[in-house]
Amino acid sequence: MCQLLGMNCNTPTDATFSFTGFTQRGGRTADHVDGWGVAFFEGAGLRHFVDHLPAAESPVAELIRKYPIKSCNVIAHIRKATQGAVNLQNCHPFVRELWGRYWVFAHNGNLENYAPRLHANFHPVGTTDSERAFCWLMQELAKSHASVPSVEELTITLRELVPQISRHGTFNFLLSNGEALWAHASTHLFYLERGFPFASAELADEDLTVDFAAQTSPADRVTVVVTAPLTKNETWTAFQPHELIAFVDGRAIRA
């Protein structure tokens, strides 16, 4: 299976620390070697990077580990292929436009016999079950709402749509439109909320420790969502099976 990493904050924050540990799982501490990608929202814009090389060896990933891009919503993915060849068009995260804004999606899992009917506006470029699922979600969101809905309305609609996909197999995913980060767990997904008072964190996959108290203000809030905990000295919360959570401004919004 693949690995997911998401970050949601109340102020633009760089994901260098988390991304550094995460990419080690792309060929060093785990065997997810079939490509990787990351997307950073910046206002109405988006920085989107993908590479078919293993994340631990990719020169593009090395650039991002050294380049502190600041964002309030980040989605990253390292791939272990189940469906689709190892190439750029099958690397997550995938990007589409809806209601005049970017949407970013990454999936961990395998959907068997999944061939949804897709209409004119959303079609996959690659051959993964993941991109087909993303296209169908975008199609159905567009059908359900005439204009940009609120985060609460989108969460309600997603809770109605997601079971129609997850019945085909494992459907752990991250989704963002730059306003919120939605995360769904079929099996394994964890999150961690960092806030005042901040402390030091030690990566599990790399010999690196960061003192967040020295880099943050008391008003900052950051939530990290990941397939498996990234740090050794922090308490991560496991998602319940089939749980969908929206994260806004660094906090989980369940209701």
Which one of 2, 9, 91, 135 is the catalytic residue? 2
What pLDDT shows up at residue 255? 58
**How many structural domains does the chain have?**
1
Q: How far apart are CA 211 and CA 197, in angstroms?
A: 11
Of 118, 148, 159, nearest in space to 135 by CA = 118
Q: Please indicate whether residue 100 or residue 32 has the higher confidence score (pLDDT).
A: 100
Query: Looking at residues 232-236, what average pLDDT do you find?
Result: 94
Cα dihedral 131, 136, 155, 46 sign: positive
* CB under 8 A, 24+ apart: contacts of 55-60: 55/22, 55/23, 55/24, 55/25, 55/26, 55/27, 56/23, 56/24, 56/25, 56/26, 56/27, 56/28, 57/26, 57/27, 58/23, 58/26
- Give me the amino acid identity at 232: K
For residue 124, what is the domain's CATH number? 3.60.20.10
Of 39, 21, 133, nearest in space to 92 by CA = 39
Instruction: Calculate Rg over the CA atoms of the chain.
Output: 17
From residue 226, alpha-carbon distances to 38, 41, 183, 192, 249 in Å are 13, 18, 10, 9, 17
* Owner of token pair 């998602």: 239
Mean pLDDT over all residues of the chain?
A: 94
Render pLDDT for 140-199 as a digit per residue (tens, 0 to 9): 999 999 888 999 999 999 999 999 999 999 999 999 999 999 999 999 999 999 988 888
At CA 22, angle to CA 165 and CA 178, rounded to 5?
A: 55
- Give me the amino acid identity at 67: Y
pLDDT category at 211 given cuts 50, 70, 90 is confident
pLDDT above 80 (res 1): no
Owning domain of residue 17: 3-253
Share of the chain above pLDDT 70, in %: 99
DSSP 56-104: TT-HHHHHHHHS--EEEEEEEEE---SSS-SSGGGPSPEEEEETTEEEE
pLDDT category at 83 given cuts 50, 70, 90 is confident
Q: Which helix (H) or strand (E) holds 231?
A: none
Render pLDDT for 13-65 as a digit per residue (tens, 0 to 9): 999 999 999 999 998 898 888 899 999 999 999 999 999 999 999 999 999 99
pLDDT category at 217 given cuts 50, 70, 90 is confident
Is 166 in a helix, a strand, or coil? helix
Query: Looking at residues 91-103, what average pLDDT do you find?
Result: 97
Share of the chain above pLDDT 90, in %: 82
As a dihedral over the C-alpha atoms of residue 110, residue 17, residue 183, residue 42, rounded to 10 degrees, the angle is: -110
Is residue 9 annotated as part of the catalytic site, yes or no?
A: no
Q: How far apart are CA 3 and CA 242, in angstroms?
A: 17
What pLDDT shows up at residue 204? 93
